[in-house]
């Protein structure tokens, strides 16, 4: 395929405005869909896309979504897989050289796009049972349903417009907050998990950013230490003077670490706002002993509430409401 006749050169790519995420995702997913099973099979099995396959994919997307979307989908796909240029001849050579690493990367993206599409079909006003079932099956969640249900209902009653979670983990609780928060809420999360050089365009981030429904916004600070002053300053900038209505602390499980998260981020919480802590049970597992100690110290001087359903080591949810 001669890309010069569609003016798809590097200078044009740099100048070209990128369409919205939904359209890009849909384009690439179409490319990998059953509509192109032969091209996909050849790509997976032989690490080769012929120029004919590439041309068919390009024109299919162009017919469905237009020229700009087709160009951008191809460019995004190539850039996401580490190709510095956009000529199919170079692409073929790179794919042969990179071999199975490229295949695995594309498969991860294909799985992420399918998961993302399922996430976007989930309504905002779910019952807890349905929201938890989805989080458990699709995202991953470690909290006990009986305990997190109690917190979910407290949060839903508040309809917070700004939510901050420290310790995203799989993202299951973050998904729950998106379904308990206000329709125009801004949800922020901090986690030390590295997502690679693609950052917010990584498969992990793409799916978690899709938790937003309606007019909600999601901001992820990945590969970030909540105890870093740089991270705290980034949160302050993102909030731009708005107060946090609900803060969920589930990050560093050392006693000192939980105290530091509380001291650094509780000043952002509005008067009357909720702060919740995970794993506060006084029958701790090895990994939760620090949180249990924090909770003993914290409850001496603060009025709190908690939900611990049984004596199984670890778990437990504690809640503190800011004065005012």
CA distances to 1, 55, 78, 83, 167 from 89, in Å:
9, 12, 12, 12, 44
- The reported pLDDT for the residue numbered 201 is 85
Same structural domain, 134 and 272: yes
- In this structure, the number of other CB atoms found within 10 A of the CB of residue 37 comes to 10
The verdict on 277 and 139 lying in the same domain is yes
The per-residue DSSP string of 123-142 comes to -SS--HHHHHHHIIIII---
Judged against a pLDDT cut of 90, whether residue 99 lies above it is answered with no
Query: How far is Cα 205 from Cα 160, in angstroms, rounded to an integer?
Result: 23
Q: How far apart are CA 70 and CA 68, in angstroms?
A: 5
Residue 164 has pLDDT above 80, yes or no: yes
Residue 104: per-residue pLDDT = 65
Residue 88 in this model has a pLDDT that exceeds 60: no
DSSP symbols for 200-239: GGSHHHHHHHTT--TT-EEEEE-S--TTSHHHHHHHHHHH
Instruction: Report whether 191 contacts 168 (CB < 8 A).
Output: yes
The answer to whether the Cα torsion of 290, 269, 274, 214 is positive or negative is negative
Instruction: Give the residue from 218, 284, 290 showing the smallest Cα distance to 252.
Output: 290
Q: How far apart are CA 143 and CA 137, in angstroms?
A: 13
Task: Return the minimum-mean-pLDDT range out of 12-16, 115-119, 261-265.
Answer: 12-16
**Domain carrying residue 33:** 3-119
Please tell me whether residues 8 and 95 are part of one structural domain.
yes
- The CATH number given to whatever domain includes residue 148 is 3.40.50.150
Q: Which of 58, 88, 119 represents a domain boundary (last residue)?
A: 119
Report the share of the chain in percent with pLDDT over 70: 68
Q: Please spell the DSSP secondary structure of 149-202, one letter per residue.
A: HHHHHHHHHH--SEEEEE--TTSHHHHHHHHHS-TT-EEEEE------TTGGGS
* Cα–Cα distance, 300 to 272 (Å, whole number): 20
What's the number of domains the chain is made of? 2
Whether 68 and 154 share a structural domain? no
Token pair 């470690």 in the structure block, residue: 142
**Residue corresponding to tokens 């437990």:** 316
Question: How many other β-carbons are positioned within 10 Å of the β-carbon of residue 234?
Answer: 16
Q: How confident is the model at residue 7 (pLDDT cuts 50, 70, 90)?
A: very low
The predicted model scores a pTM of 0.69
The domain boundary, picked from 86, 119, 152, lies at 119
Note the pLDDT tens digit of each residue in 108-142.
Answer: 777 888 888 899 888 888 899 999 999 999 999 98
Q: Are residues 154 and 79 in the same domain?
A: no
105 and 246 housed in the same domain: no
Q: Are residue 134 and residue 226 in the same domain, yes or no?
A: yes
If asked whether residues 190 and 292 sit together in one domain, one would say yes
Residue 200: burial class (beta carbons within 10 Å; 0-12, 13-18, 19+): middle
Q: Quick check: 283 and 291 in contact, CB under 8 A?
A: no
Domain shared by 149 and 111, yes or no: no
Each residue of 216-227: pLDDT tens digit? 999 999 999 999
Do 180 and 205 lie in one domain? The reply is: yes
Confidence of residue 76 (pLDDT cuts 50, 70, 90): low
Judge whether 112 and 139 are in contact, CB under 8 Å.
no
Do 83 and 154 have their domain in common?
no
Tell me which of 58, 84, 119 is where a domain ends: 119
Which of 48-57, 232-241, 268-277 shows the lowest per-residue confidence on average (mean pLDDT)? 48-57
Q: Does pLDDT of 188 surpass 60? A: yes
What's the rounded Cα separation, in Å, for the pair 174 and 156? Answer: 13
Percent of the chain topping pLDDT 90: 54
Describe the strand order of the beta sheet including 244-249 as a list of residue ranges.
217-221, 186-190, 162-166, 244-249, 269-278, 317-321, 304-307
Are 115 and 135 members of one domain? no
Which pLDDT belongs to residue 318? 98
* Average pLDDT along the chain: 79
For residues 320 and 165, what is the distance between their CA atoms, to the nearest angstrom?
Answer: 15
275 falls in which pLDDT band (50, 70, 90)? very high
Q: Are 316 and 307 in contact (CB under 8 A)?
A: yes
| Bridge partners (DSSP) listed for residue 164 | 188, 247
β-bridge pairing 244-249 and 162-166 = parallel
Mean pLDDT of 46-74: 59
Residue holding tokens 């946090």? 244
Among the listed residues 299, 244, 298, the one whose alpha carbon sits nearest the alpha carbon of residue 272: 244
């Amino acid at each position: 395929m001669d890309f010069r006749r569609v003016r798809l050169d590097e200078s044009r790519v740099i100048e070209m405005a990128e369409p919205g995420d939904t359209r890009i995702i849909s384009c690439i997913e179409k490319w990998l869909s059953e509509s192109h099973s032969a091209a996909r099979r050849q790509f997976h099995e032989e690490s080769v896309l012929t120029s004919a396959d590439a041309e068919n994919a390009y024109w299919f997307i162009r017919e469905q979504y237009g020229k700009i979307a087709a160009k951008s989908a191809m460019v995004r796909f190539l850039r996401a897989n580490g190709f510095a240029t956009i000529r199919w001849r170079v692409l073929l050579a790179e794919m042969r050289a990179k071999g199975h690493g490229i295949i695995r990367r594309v498969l991860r993206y294909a799985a992420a796009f399918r998961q993302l599409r399922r996430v976007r079909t989930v309504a905002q006003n779910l019952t807890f049972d349905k929201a938890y079932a989805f989080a458990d099956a699709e995202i991953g969640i470690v909290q006990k349903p009986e305990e997190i249900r109690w917190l979910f209902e407290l949060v839903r009653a508040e309809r917070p417009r700004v939510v901050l979670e420290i310790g995203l983990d799989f993202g299951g609780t973050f998904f729950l907050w998106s379904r308990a928060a206000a329709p125009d809420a801004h949800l922020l999360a901090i986690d030390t998990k590295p997502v690679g050089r693609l950052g917010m365009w990584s498969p992990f981030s793409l799916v978690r950013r899709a938790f937003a429904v309606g007019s909600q916004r999601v901001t992820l600070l990945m590969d970030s230490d909540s105890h870093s002053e740089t991270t705290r300053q980034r949160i302050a900038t993102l909030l731009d003077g708005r107060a946090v209505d609900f803060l969920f602390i589930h990050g560093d499980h050392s006693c000192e670490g939980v105290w530091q998260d509380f001291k650094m981020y509780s000043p952002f919480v509005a008067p009357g706002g909720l702060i919740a802590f995970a794993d506060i049970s006084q029958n701790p597992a090895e990994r939760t002993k620090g949180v249990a100690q924090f909770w003993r110290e914290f409850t001496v001087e603060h009025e709190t509430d908690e939900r611990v359903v049984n004596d199984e080591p670890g778990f437990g949810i504690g809640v503190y409401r800011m004065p005012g």
